[in-house]
Amino acid sequence: MHQSPSAQIPLRPITDSHGLEGRKIHVRLTEGRFQNLRRLISWPLLALFFGLVWMQSNGTPWLLFDFPQRRILLFGTHLSWYDLHILTGLMITGASLLFFVSMVWGRVWCGFACPQTIWTWIFIRIEQWTEGRAALRQRQEQMPLTRAKLARRIVKHTLWMTVALLTTITFTGYFMPIRNLVAQLASAEASTTLVGWLVCMTLLTYINAGLIREKICLHACPYSRFQAVMMDDQSLKVSYNAERGEPRGAIKPYSATKLEKGTTGDCVDCNICVQVCPTGIDIRDGLQAACIDCAACIDACDQVMLKTHRPTGLISFAAAQQQHSQQPPRFWRPRLLGYVAVTLIAFSSTGYALVNKKDLVVEIRRDRDSLFREFSDGSVCNFYQIKADSFDPTLTQMHVSVSGQDGLVLQGPETFQLDNSGEWTAYRVCLMEPAGGVLPITFNFSDQTRTWSRSSSLITNTGYQQR
């Protein structure tokens, strides 16, 4: 259906819709159903982020990326670095879900659950609490610096830096036990490397959420660039109804009759939708890369519509095809089914890999400086280095043996502790009166109930000369 010229948005030059001509964006906070929904999502995520790092069972954290011991603790499951494909599967599953959600509801992840957005709103709240509402902050920016103004700014930046530091400490606690981290900081025993990391990450958090905010969404995040690829004309996204709103004009009583030529639309041109936008765009100019679908403009516009006795929904979540047709968008579409299929395949594959993960990882390394050695009693010995890492909390030690040939003798510790320290243990395998050649042997590792085997070979003098 062709849209009539009167329903089109008038062409207007946009000098700098993303940065408001390079000036700082003073975001006006608003209330409404979508902002309540955003808090309902963001506050549990914040509680999960700050609380999960402290959760542990029998002294073991629920979630920890343990680099020194080369393991990942995931809610009672111990993963090795050989199980990174499981994490890859989880990321593919998450990405497929993100594509699915984006195709149906637009960038709701960015507007309601993205860490950049959540921390930005926290910093904006702190800014309003210390320096006042957006209009007051904008006026004060043009005024000379006074003692009271300086004091408020010091308090604001101090609180910003405090939140950034707590965020960095919590984030670091997912890579080293949080209790050890806090104890080192409290006793001033933290290493220079750790302190440097904390300082850098704190500054990055402070800058991202406090100073550059919307620039991250527009220039650093790739999602804003390829969002249009994931959406179609049936994807729901924050949209302005130009047929209702144009032409914009002064407030007048709403009439249910069709607008006549020369009269104004429902948009009263109050610009509140621009003032509440965290990225500073004007949603009336159409879909833009900087729009994160936070729906702040919807809540603000609905309040204006109620005050002017007009129907709400001038700005709403709507599909492009709804602008021209009353038919609701089709939920199931071929590409959407493709995203569902990829998600199910990735989730199933990850579950299978998780069930069949490795509990014990053994590495056997032959001594290359001395492949074999002959002794006066007629025996031939090979030298090996063995390292074993346990990714099962119940597997703390194991017994080592060798099999495959009659008369094999293993020289070295019969049992050793699995502390995942990365230490190599030296072993020597000897064979009396070898028949010659390269002989297959098997290293056996066992605890009280389970056995693991690794194949290797024994090189004798005769076999080495033949090769």
What's the pLDDT at 84? 81
In a domain, 25, yes or no: no
Question: Same structural domain for residues 72 and 173?
Answer: yes
- Say yes or no: 287 and 338 in one domain: no
* Structural domain containing residue 373: 360-466
Residues 286 and 308 in one domain: yes
pLDDT at 253: 54
Domain co-membership, 181 together with 44: yes
Residues 202, 279: one domain? no
Would you say residue 347 has pLDDT above 80? yes
Token digits for 285?
């100019």
Give residue 368's pLDDT band: very low, low, confident or very high (50, 70, 90).
confident
Residues 223 and 259 in one domain: no
User: Is 354 within a domain?
Assistant: no
Residue 392 sits in a domain whose CATH number is 2.60.40.10
Do 372 and 263 fall within a single domain?
Answer: no
* Residue 306 domain-assigned (yes or no): yes
Are residue 191 and residue 205 in the same domain, yes or no?
yes
Whether the pLDDT of residue 225 is over 80: the answer is no
**429 domain residue, yes or no:** yes
Answer with the one of 347, 381, 412 that is the final residue of a domain: 347
Q: What is the pLDDT of residue 64?
A: 93
The count of structural domains within the chain is: 3
Q: What is the pLDDT of residue 418?
A: 83
- Indicate whether 452 belongs to any domain: yes
Distance CA 112, CA 40 (A): 9
Structural contact between residues 169 and 198, judged by C-beta atoms closer than 8 angstroms:
yes
Could you tell me the CA-to-CA distances from 189 to 75, 108, 178, 196, 217 in Å, in that order? 29, 43, 14, 13, 37
pLDDT score recorded for residue 116: 93
Domain co-membership, 222 together with 295 = no
Pairing of strands 77-80, 397-403: unpaired
Q: Residue 363 corresponds to which tokens in the numbers above?
A: 């590495």
Q: With respect to residue 23, please indicate whether it lies within any of the assigned structural domains.
A: no
Specify the pLDDT at position 13. Answer: 41
For the stretch 74-131, pLDDT in tens is 888 888 777 888 888 989 998 899 888 888 888 889 999 999 999 999 999 999 999 9
194 part of a folded domain: yes
Assess contact for 305 and 30: CB atoms under 8 A. Answer: no
